[in-house]
Amino acid sequence: MPFRVTWSNLLDNVEELPADATLLTPVSQKPFQITDVQQHRMLIEYQTGSETVPLQREQFETLFQRVDDAAGAFDLDRLPPGAEPYATVASLHPRFTIDDRDGTLSESETPTASPLVDAHTVEHNDTSREEPDISVYADSLLLIDALEQHDVTSLTDLEMPTLVNLYTLLSDVQRNANDLRQDVRGVLLDRLHHDQPVSGQYGSVQRTARKNRTLKHDETVLERLEAQGIAPERVMSIDASKVDDALEVTALSESDVYDIEESEYVRKADVDEEMKQTRLQGLKDQLAGADEDTTELQAEIEELEQRITELTSFDSGTSYHTRSTGG
C-alpha cells in the first residue's frame, strides 16, 4: 500500500480522537497530547512541559518502513532518542499494533486499538465514585480521618488513646499497603521488559536484579578454601542455636555467653475490627452524602463519634510494651 494512503488513514484516526485524549510513549510512559494535525506533520505537547514538538510525515514513513523491514515486528528499544511518540501515534493506524509486554510495533491484517491511547484517555466521569474492596483503602480512610482530627506535628501533646489509635491504624495501613505493593510488583515484573525506567504520574520504576547467595555444603566450602590456603578455623563460627542447646544441659547462664542489652518497644496487641467498621461506615456515609443535604446524617455521625470516643477511652497509664533479650 502506498504510504500516502497509510498517512491519510492515520490522519483520519488521529482527528477522531477526543480533544482531551492523553497518549503515552511506549517505553518511558510519558503522557502527551496531540494539539494540532496538519497535512505534513502533527504537533504534540508533553504534560510535563509546554514545549510543542512536531512529528514529521517523513519520519512516520521511515518508521513504517522499518516495521516492514523487520518482518512485521519492530523492537521499540531501537527507536532513536525522542522518537517514542512516533510509535504511539503510529499505533493509532488500524494496521499497526504496539505490544506492551514484548516492546514491539508490528503490522497486522486485523484492525486493533492502541493500548497506549484507549487505556489512558482522560475522561470526565460524572458518575458516583466506587469504593475499592481492599483492606488498605478502608484503613487509609480511617487513618486520614484520625490525622484530620489531631495535630500530629506535636505528638507529645496527644493523649494516650489517640496515640494508640494512630499507632494501630499506621500499622494496619503499612501491612496492607505492603501486601498490595507485592501484588502490583508481580504484575509490573511481567510487563517491564528492559532496564529503562518507566514513568507514571507520581514516579518511575525500573526492572532490576539482585543476587541471593546461599553457601554450599560446609564440607565443600571448607575443602575449596583449604585448597587455596585458607585454614578452616578462619571461616568457622559459633552457631547460636547450638549454644542455646548447650546451655540447657550446663550450669551456665545466658549472661555467661551472651552480651545482653535490653530494649523496649511498642507492638500492636489487638485490633477492634468491629469498632473500625462502625467508624468506617460513618465516614463512607459522609462521602456518599457530600453533595446532598446531610444535616440529619451529620448529627447521627457526631453522635456515633461520641459513642466511639466513650467506648475506646481507657486509663492513660495503660501501655503495651514487651522486653526482649538478645539471643
Going by pLDDT thresholds of 50, 70 and 90, the confidence category of residue 295 is: low
- Which contacts (CB < 8 Å, 24+ apart) does range 288-296 have? 288/128
Examine the pLDDT at 54 and tell me if it is beyond 90: yes
Integer-rounded Cα Rg, in Å, for the chain is 31
Return the H-helix or E-strand segment holding 13: helix 3-15
Helix, strand or coil, per DSSP, at residue 105: strand
Read off the amino acid at residue 23.
Answer: L
Examine the pLDDT at 223 and tell me if it is beyond 80: yes
Write down the pLDDT at residue 121: 42
CA distances, 312 to each of 139, 164, 175, 283 (Å): 17, 10, 23, 17
Going by pLDDT thresholds of 50, 70 and 90, the confidence category of residue 125 is: very low
Write down the pLDDT at residue 246: 80
Question: 82: Cβ–Cβ under 8 A, 6 or more apart, which residues?
Answer: 53
Which candidate, 263, 264, 269, 265, places its Cα nearest to that of 314? Answer: 269
d(CA 113, CA 299): 51
Question: 49: Cβ–Cβ under 8 A, 6 or more apart, which residues?
Answer: none
CA distances, 123 to each of 24, 126, 128, 151 (Å): 15, 9, 14, 37
pLDDT tens-digit series, residues 238-281:
777 777 888 788 888 888 878 888 765 555 556 677 776 777 77
Using CB atoms within 10 A of its CB, is residue 116 exposed (0-12), middle (13-18) or buried (19+)? Answer: buried
- Which contacts (CB < 8 Å, 24+ apart) does range 178-183 have? 179/135, 179/136, 180/134, 180/136
Going by pLDDT thresholds of 50, 70 and 90, the confidence category of residue 308 is: low
Write down the pLDDT at residue 163: 92
Q: Give the pTM.
A: 0.44
